[in-house]
Amino acid sequence: MTAASLVSLVASAMLLGSVYSLVNLGVVLLVRTTGTMNFAQGEFIMLGAYVMSALGPSMGYWPGLLATCVVMASVGFLGYYLLMRFLHGGSEFDKVVLTFMLSIILTQAVIMLWGTDPREIAPATRARVPLLDTSVQATTFIAIAMTVAIAVGLVLFLSRSITGLRMRALSADESLAEYYGIRTEVLSGLAWAMAGVCAAVAGVIYAQGTAVALTLPEILLLAFPAAVLGGLESFEGAVIGSLVVAGVYTFTNYVLGGQWSIVIVYSLMLITLMVRPYGFFGRPVAQRL
Amino acid sequence: MTFSTAGRTVRPPRVGRTARVVSTLAAGLMVSGVLAACGGSDDSSSSGGSYKIGVEIDQTGRSKASGVAQLKGMTAAADAINKAGGIDGHSVELIVRDTASDAAKAVSAYSDLKSQGVSAIAGFLGSVDLGPVVKRAKADNMALLATGSPPDLLDPKNTVFSTVANVNAQSEATLSYIKNRMDDGDVAPEGRVGILRYATPAGEQQSVALAAKAKELGIDIVTEQTAPPGAASLSSQLQTIVDKKPDAVIFLVLESDLLTAVKAADATGLPKDTPIASWAFASSPSSLALVAKSGYHDIAASANLQSPSAAEQSDGLKAYVTAAKAAGLDPGSTQIPEGYAQTMIAAAALKKCGYPCSSKDFIAALESTSTDLDGFAFGPITYSRDEHRGFTAMRFVTSTDSGGIAYAGDPIEIISK
């Protein structure tokens, strides 16, 4: 392997790691704030990409991305307000089932609005940054910067702000939080809107390196092992787990070929579940009997 | 009951009547969606009973993009036939079942369709749908018309018939295309080719076929990279290909993965003038135009059927465009022509079979059918007792600067006539 190849592979792994991180940040956010494992996050990502593919060409990349974030925040909030809200205080299982239903509704909406042909998102820039004796696409660095900004923002928001603290209380016990005067519906709606923004950015970054297609939600299946590795309730874990999984995936592909990469990534998840079921950055939950 | 907390009235969690109403509405929405997906085509022209064709196709699973489009094409064809008076006065009715690319659902759908007395079952986007029902269909003498059959299932001992050029033939055709470019001096005479294909059982079969064809044509396959369908990144595979400095590249992937591959090629520094060949999935004008945006202008995709954007217009192509537009479809969309052609091939066999047409009689009729769909195909689509692959020729298409389609070279024979 040449130095140029190594640089290129590391850049690819970082880009993929950024996408996985953004996917998982949305998942972890909802787990930590509402206790909901959102299996429609993949469809949120797909919808974000389709919205950007529609808005980007006329508005330009950055205004288009901003508008996409607003649209997806609204979709997230509406998804909560029109569906999830009615399971307030209900079991986790019921919520998970409802997110599956939400995923079907979102997919059908995309097919009705945009059909089945793939679409494209043009990158913010086609510039390349010279590095050693090769060059890396500038969009890779933009993606990494956006991921870091969102991850740091979420950590600070949940740990340093009153609203963030209330969201965490919500996750611990939804009913009790409401009895203590926390506006649970508003906060849950806000959490869903924030997850929508994460999905919008993830969808745009992911789709500009692939295609805007109905296959985009499958990213959740690939990103999920990273969330398990890091711990489903840790933002830091979600990011680090994502980078580890993306690195393993990329270099396994290069060295062993595509037929092995997914096997190895899922084996990694299996081993993690056996050794540390709560992930490397999660905390074991003690229960008084 | 309410509680007063910190000066504010708080309601306990509501999981009551409203929740049930919303759940019922949502369930209704889902059911109506499924029913819409399972609807048949209009059989209003029926005067003496209708021919029933079962359709097993993914509408909600991982291949739904292709499945939804193919079904639209199939329905457009059935509607066009029925509006023209049907087949000798008998309308064509499509009875559709969603397989969701799930083996269990495919088997269940097969039993359901068989019990409804269909003459044949069409659809079948891939081995996940097709594989589990092949043995049953063989035992029942039921023809399965597939757009995504692995080559081994097309063994004439089975009752599977391909209604597109099968992937092995398409893969070999990409090598023939590169060989033609070598002969024209567009590709270096060493013919060093890098290949990206799927890491699937069908992909392994292609690999064997490709190796033999490359040897026959004097092409050197310098690397053969694999990836699962829908891979999140193809950069590693493309890096390996770029490291080998190939004269041409072949991407044997679906259209969304082709876009991923081309963008990965750009990221890893594959020269922009490298000739690239791919499967028919990317042969629609919109797909080729999207790929061309990446800067790789020397890209060609194999095509099963004439393109509505090309200059040459056969009667079959005109009929297809009319039918697609009547159904409110974009004739240039991916997989819609393949769906249309599948129904038309079935209709040709039904006409030969006569009414009523049992599944056994349908097989006999199809095995003596040869049609080029009035010039829509690039050569005869011929079935016999010893040959179920059908398509005998295909042609490569490229994108023009104006976003149209141009043919690259002459039709390539993929099965000896």
Number of residues written out for chain A: 289
Given an 8 Å threshold on Cβ–Cβ distance, is B15 in contact with A87?
yes
Given an 8 Å threshold on Cβ–Cβ distance, is A118 in contact with B259?
yes
Residues in A touching B14 (Cβ below 8 Å): 86, 88
Average pLDDT over residues A154-171: 85
Going across the sheet that includes B192-198, the strands are B220-227, B192-198, B248-252, B276-278, B299-303, B393-399, B405-413
Write the residue in B29, B267, B335 that is nearest to A105 by C-beta. Answer: B29
| Cα–Cα distance measured from residue A30 to residue A190, given in angstroms and rounded to the nearest whole number | 10
A22, A43, A108, best to mutate vs chain B, most B CBs in 10 Å: A108
- Residue B15, both tokens: 């999981």
User: Which positions 63-122 of A are in contact with B (Cβ < 8 Å)?
Assistant: 82-83, 86-90, 101, 104-105, 107-108, 111, 115-120, 122
The nearest CA of chain A is from the CA of B339 a distance in Å of: 14
Write the residue in B18, B228, B267 that is nearest to A258 by C-beta. Answer: B228
Which amino acid would we find at residue B156?
A: P
Size of interface A-B (CB pairs under 8 A): 174
The pLDDT value given to residue B416: 62
A176 in B contact zone (CB under 8 Å)? no
User: How many angstroms separate the Cα of B413 from the Cα of each of A133, B173, B280, B302?
Assistant: 45, 8, 15, 12
A185, A215, A255, best to mutate vs chain B, most B CBs in 10 Å: A215
pLDDT in tens, B64-84: 888 999 999 999 999 999 999
Query: Could you tell me which residues come within 8 angstroms of residue A185 by beta carbon, excluding any fewer than 6 positions away?
Result: A81, A85, A88
Which amino acid would we find at residue A125?
A: T
Residues in B touching A120 (Cβ below 8 Å): 259, 290, 293
Closest residue in chain B to residue A178, using alpha carbons only: B10
Given an 8 Å threshold on Cβ–Cβ distance, is B13 in contact with A89?
yes
The H or E element spanning position B93 is: strand B91-98
pLDDT value at A90 more than 80: no
Q: Which ipTM score applies to this complex?
A: 0.81
| Exposed/middle/buried for residue B18 (C-beta within 10 Å: 0-12, 13-18, 19+) | exposed
Given an 8 Å threshold on Cβ–Cβ distance, is B236 in contact with A9?
yes
Residue B411: cis peptide before it, omega within 30 degrees of 0: no
Percent pLDDT > 90 in chain B is 58
Give chain B's domains with CATH numbers: 45-164+315-385 (3.40.50.2300), 167-303+394-413 (3.40.50.2300)
Given an 8 Å threshold on Cβ–Cβ distance, is B227 in contact with A122?
no
What is the DSSP code (8-state) at residue B90? B
Given an 8 Å threshold on Cβ–Cβ distance, is A249 in contact with B233?
yes
A12, A91, A99, best to mutate vs chain B, most B CBs in 10 Å: A12
Write the residue in A4, A122, A215 that is nearest to B65 by C-beta. Answer: A215
> Measured over all CA atoms, what is the biggest interatomic distance in chain A, rounded to whole angstroms?
62
| Cα–Cα distance measured from residue B205 to residue B365, given in angstroms and rounded to the nearest whole number | 30
CB B91 within 8 A of CB B46: yes
Query: Could you tell me which residues come within 8 angstroms of residue B352 by beta carbon, excluding any fewer than 6 positions away?
Result: B365, B366, B368, B369
pLDDT in tens, B27-51: 444 444 444 444 444 444 445 689 9
User: How many angstroms separate the Cα of A204 from the Cα of each of A47, A283, B108, B279, B357?
Assistant: 10, 32, 38, 27, 51
Closest residue in chain B to residue A106, using alpha carbons only: B30
| Cα–Cα distance measured from residue A226 to residue A22, given in angstroms and rounded to the nearest whole number | 11
User: How many angstroms separate the Cα of A183 from the Cα of each of A164, A166, B4, B8, B109?
Assistant: 12, 9, 13, 10, 48
User: From the CA atom positions of chain B, what is the Rg in Å?
Assistant: 24
The H or E element spanning position B88 is: none
Query: Could you tell me which residues come within 8 angstroms of residue B115 by beta carbon, excluding any fewer than 6 positions away?
Result: none
Residues in B touching A111 (Cβ below 8 Å): 64, 68
pLDDT in tens, B313-323: 899 999 999 99
Pick from A113-122, B149-158, B347-356 the range whose average pLDDT is largest: B347-356
The nearest CA of chain A is from the CA of B350 a distance in Å of: 30
pLDDT in tens, A98-121: 999 999 999 989 999 998 888 989
| Cα–Cα distance measured from residue B67 to residue B53, given in angstroms and rounded to the nearest whole number | 16
| Cα–Cα distance measured from residue B309 to residue B303, given in angstroms and rounded to the nearest whole number | 12
DSSP result, B266-323: HHHT--TT--EEE-GGG-SHHHHHHHHTTT--SEEEEESB--TTSS---HHHHHHHHH
With tokens 């793939």, the residue in question is A118
pLDDT value at B184 more than 80: yes
| Cα–Cα distance measured from residue B84 to residue B253, given in angstroms and rounded to the nearest whole number | 37
Write the residue in B8, B227, B232 that is nearest to A222 by C-beta. Answer: B232
Closest residue in chain A to residue B262, using alpha carbons only: A210
User: From the CA atom positions of chain A, what is the Rg in Å?
Assistant: 19
| Least confident among A46-50, A62-66, A215-219, B54-58 | A215-219
Q: Which residue has the higher pLDDT, A35 or B350?
A: B350
pLDDT value at B361 more than 70: yes
A45, A50, A112, A116, best to mutate vs chain B, most B CBs in 10 Å: A116
pLDDT value at B201 more than 90: no
- Tell me the angle at which helices A3-34 and A235-256 cross, rounded to the nearest 10 degrees: 150
Look at residue B6 and give its three-state secondary structure. coil
| Cα–Cα distance measured from residue B319 to residue B372, given in angstroms and rounded to the nearest whole number | 13
User: Which positions 211-250 of A are in contact with B (Cβ < 8 Å)?
Assistant: 211, 213-215, 218-219, 222, 249-250
- Residue A96, both tokens: 């998970």
Going across the sheet that includes B91-98, the strands are B91-98, B50-57, B120-123, B143-146, B160-162
DSSP result, B143-197: EEEESS--GGGG-TTS-EEESS--HHHHHHHHHHHHHHHHHTTSS-TT-EEEEEE
User: How many angstroms separate the Cα of B72 from the Cα of each of A53, A156, A201, B143, B202?
Assistant: 24, 50, 32, 21, 26
User: Which positions 125-154 of A are in contact with B (Cβ < 8 Å)?
Assistant: 134-135, 137, 140
Average pLDDT over residues B132-143: 96
CA triplet B110, A43, B108: central angle to 5 degrees?
Answer: 10
The nearest CA of chain A is from the CA of B385 a distance in Å of: 36
| Cα–Cα distance measured from residue B54 to residue B47, given in angstroms and rounded to the nearest whole number | 20
The nearest CA of chain B is from the CA of A230 a distance in Å of: 20
